[in-house]
A and B are shown apart, each in its own frame.
Chain A
Amino acid sequence: MIAFVLLAAVAVGVAVWRQVRPPIQHPRGEIKLYFATRDGLYLVPESRPLPAAAGLTSAEERAFFIVRGLLAGPTQERLVPTLPPGTELLGLRIEGDVLTLDFNRALQENHGGGSTGELATVYSLVNSLVEGVPGVARVRFLIEGEPIETLVGHLDLSHPLAPDWSLVKPSP
């Protein structure tokens, strides 16, 4: 049901912003979703195969696929979900190299807080999206269509954020 609503919402968003950014061809393959380690120290990628369905070739569709994957959480037990329960993506759009994400209030209200928690949430999205969506360099966050100063009181979310690769655990 949630997935359906989400799909519908994304479909609306995609429909609205499709004219602004033409669909691009992207080779089939895998994308990486960044989840947090249990100690919260690092982000660690999990790979997901891109489904061979039509429509996933556009940047927005890839972004949507990534956010949905992050919302669904990691498959490995050693990793921890980064988005608070109840979080819904209300829409996304790409303008230039900036991807804007619009979430419901749960992203903020259900968040446990903490710098470590905020970093994990924000950069699991930013890192996954910038890496997985060609042409996107920065990510902006909205809550119910409105800009926010910060998620839970540490990071500056009033402007689009570039990824922070220092948070990614180096490969062993």
Chain B
Amino acid sequence: MQQSSFSRGYALALLLLLLFWLAPLVAAAVPQVLLNGELLPLTPAPLESAGSVQLPLRALALALGGEQAAAWEGEVLDLKVNGQEIRLREGATEVEVNGSRRRLSAAVLRAGEDLYLPASLVAELLGYRSVWDEEKHILSLEAPLARVEALSYAERDGRPGFSIVATRPLRYEVRSLANPPRLVVDLYDARLAAGDPPVPGNSAIRGLRARQFAPTVVRVVADLVQPVSFAAERDPARPQQLNLRAYRVVTRASFSRTEGQGRLTIQGSAPLVYEVKVLESPPRLVVDLPQAVLQAAETEQAVDDPAVAKVRLSQFQPDLVRVVLDLKTPLSYRPVLTEDSRQVALELLDQVVGLQVEEVPGKTRVIIETTGATAFSALHLTQPERLAIDILGAAVSPQLQPVAGQGEGPVRQVRAAQFNSETARVVVDLTHSVGYQVVKEEGSHRIVVEINRSAVLGKRIVVDPGHGGADPGAFGRSGLREKDVNLDLGRRLAEVLQNRGAEVFLTRSDDTFVPLYDRAALANAQQGQIFVSLHANSFRHQYANGSEMYYYPGNEKAKRLAELISDELTGLGLANRAIKANKEFVVVREPKMPAVLVEVAFLSNPDEEKLLADAGFRQQAAEAIARGIERYFQEEGRAAAAQ
């Protein structure tokens, strides 16, 4: 059995050999086709007639491109040869190549189960040269094949991939296959001359392998680490090089808020290209990422935020990832750079959505409501008096209206405007200068401006610049006159107090002599609530220095006023000498109101004379005395409230 089987196989092989050897002689009329010198077996065989040869197209396609290369449906033959799609119809004098029609100089013939065209036309369609040797009945087709010389792994802009180098620009086709994930690149009119590069490859590719898939087709297969799409393009600098680069992979998109600043972060495998659209109804921010594929664990993420509801990711198109930030209110954004170049980060420009004025004991509160932003800087501006609170990373809601202050409080109105593209400015217009602080309210997205209601608001204050006219008071060694110092101090103090809403009466506003009793009488006539006499001190010895206050013995309110003014003047660096009670000072005894005489500093002391001669110091002194007065009325207010 074994022996007989062997003998039969031997005989068959011998017969075949004989047949091949004899074929050109026996079937001299059957033309043969050589492609680049190698025999291309075609079944059925080409037809020869009248000095030309007709090629069986379906057989040719199968020989060049494999089983998938031809589809025969009755009269229509679809071929896929060397990356070209060719559609032929029996009897037609035209052909469709890659969807466009071309006229033929001969009609398509049918014989048996195949369609035929003259070899010269076929060669033209394929871009080959053809030579028909009529004597030998041999058709030689010369295909200009590109030699594939090198395969290599490559990585550019953080995108892993590979390159194929050939002797000519290649025609190619790229397909992705799954299980296991791989990329198939067919190179047409190509001849493989390169070996496989060593494994492993890079972050996207396990390895590359190439083979001569068909006589004119080289197939390169990239085994992938994970399924990723690739973009293929001829190298701009070297067209004979084909570059394949993995699409960017989007792995995550998330929204976070740090220190009031909302941020959308999109994480990619490589630097991402993106485009942002701000859309309305419903409000949302759309980020499109081309040449990117989505490989995210989460494609939808609810957000607990005053401005943002949700983050969504999708593969919007085969090569486009779309990230959508669903907003609760329309917001703009600004791109920010992060340390990770593979990240896209967009900071939300939050909105100022609410303004409110609220009166609480001793204070007026201005409440600024935002959609999230709470980073701010505040400044005090004058002429007119106002506070400006700049909210960083915020825009003013178009619906926001100015708010008027209430009652006699220091707030005239509150308004908001866009200061620059990234900063919203809230302006608090004031009736007078105030003390204030700006705070973030815990657990909310509100910035609160707390304005101390001026304690001197509406208070009637008599300011008495000592001496004047014929009475120059003391003299400094340089000739500085006390009456001039006192008048300047008095005017400054009056202005500071008036700015804070007090009603101020000066016992003299120019260089005139006013007797002591007249000063007190004026204060009484004006029904002042306090009386502050301003002086510059003098003593026989220049050693004496510092501030000294006088009040009428037993007048506790006047004593307290003196203590507070002294405390503030001491804060300027002046020595705190004494607060003395004496019955004989006319201006602290005669006014029917708490009255103090303030000796700011010594004209007889050379250092202090220099201070008193300095307008800047006099302003500081006036402001210090005003603070003392303010504190006095704050205490009075608290005492009144306690009763």
| Residues of A participating in the B interface, judged by any CB pair closer than 8 Å | 36, 38-41, 80-82, 112-117, 119-120, 122, 149-150, 152-157, 161-162, 164, 166-167
Contact = CB atoms under 8 A, between A and B. Distances in A.
A114 B466 CA distance: 10
Contacts of A161: 584
Contacts of B536: 114
Contact of B544 (A116, A153, A162): A116
Contacts of B482: 113-114
A117 B538 contact: yes
A161 B603 CA distance: 27
A114 B538 contact: yes
A7 B597 CA distance: 39
Given A154-B587, A156-B584, 19 more contacts: A41-B578, A81-B540, A82-B540, A112-B475, A112-B539, A113-B482, A114-B482, A114-B535, A114-B537, A115-B535, A116-B537, A116-B599, A149-B516, A154-B516, A154-B535, A154-B585, A155-B586, A156-B585, A156-B586
Contacts of A120: 539-540
Nearest to A113: B474
A164 B582 contact: yes
B102 interface: no
A115 B597 contact: yes
Contact of A116 (B515, B548, B587): B548
A153 B466 contact: yes
A81 B540 CA distance: 8
Given A113-B482, A119-B582, A39 B516 contact: no
A8 to B, nearest CB: 28
A155 B475 CA distance: 18
Contacts of B632: none
Given A150-B586, A154-B597, A166 B581 contact: yes
Given A117-B474, A149-B516, A38 B543 contact: yes
A2 to B, nearest CB: 20
B467 to A, nearest CB: 5
14 contacts: A36-B541, A39-B541, A40-B539, A40-B544, A80-B540, A80-B541, A113-B482, A114-B539, A114-B603, A115-B535, A116-B539, A150-B586, A154-B586, A164-B584
Nearest to A161: B584
A164 B515 CA distance: 24
Nearest to B543: A38
Contact of A117 (B540, B578, B585): B540
Given A112-B604, A114-B604, A116-B599, A40 B585 contact: no
Contacts of A41: 544, 577-578
A35 B174 CA distance: 112
B402 interface: no
Among B474, B577, B584, chain A packs the most CB atoms within 10 A around the CB of B584
A133 to B, nearest CB: 20
B475 A115 contact: no
B540 A36 contact: yes
Among B537, B544, B586, B603, chain A packs the most CB atoms within 10 A around the CB of B544
Contacts of B587: 154
A39 B538 contact: no
A156 B589 contact: yes
Contacts of B247: none
Interface in B191-243: none
Interface in B547-593: 548, 550, 577-578, 580-587, 589
A164 B580 CA distance: 11
A120 B540 CA distance: 10
Among A38, A39, A116, A149, chain B packs the most CB atoms within 10 A around the CB of A116
Contacts of A156: 516, 584-586, 589
Among A119, A153, A156, A166, chain B packs the most CB atoms within 10 A around the CB of A153
A114 B599 contact: yes
A85 to B, nearest CB: 10
Contacts of A119: 580, 582
B629 to A, nearest CB: 20
Contacts of B614: none
Interface string B507-539: 000000001110000000000000000011111
B255 interface: no
B313 to A, nearest CB: 80
A108 to B, nearest CB: 11
A120 B537 CA distance: 12
A156 B473 CA distance: 15
Contacts of A40: 539-541, 544
B471 interface: yes
B602 interface: yes
Interface string B33-49: 00000000000000000
A92 B619 CA distance: 47
A38 B544 contact: yes
B540 A149 contact: no
Interface string B464-487: 001100010111000000100000
A113 B473 contact: yes
Nearest to B585: A154
Contacts of B582: 119, 155, 164, 166
A150 B589 CA distance: 14
B544 A112 contact: no
Nearest to A150: B516
A62 B586 CA distance: 31
A119 to B, nearest CB: 7
Given A80-B540, A156-B516, A114 B474 contact: yes
A155 B585 CA distance: 5
Contacts of B544: 38-41, 116
A153 B543 contact: no
Contacts of B604: 112, 114, 117
B440 to A, nearest CB: 49
Interface string B271-304: 0000000000000000000000000000000000
A146 to B, nearest CB: 16
Contacts of A154: 466, 516, 535, 585-587, 597
A152 B602 CA distance: 15
Contact of A112 (B515, B540, B550): B540
A164 B466 CA distance: 23
A164 B582 CA distance: 8
B541 A38 contact: yes
A113 B538 contact: yes
Nearest to B546: A39
Nearest to B578: A41
Contacts of A82: 540
B156 to A, nearest CB: 84
A81 B474 CA distance: 18
Contacts of B583: 162, 164
Nearest to B513: A153
A38 B18 CA distance: 145
A152 B535 CA distance: 12
Contacts of A112: 474-475, 538-540, 604
A75 to B, nearest CB: 16
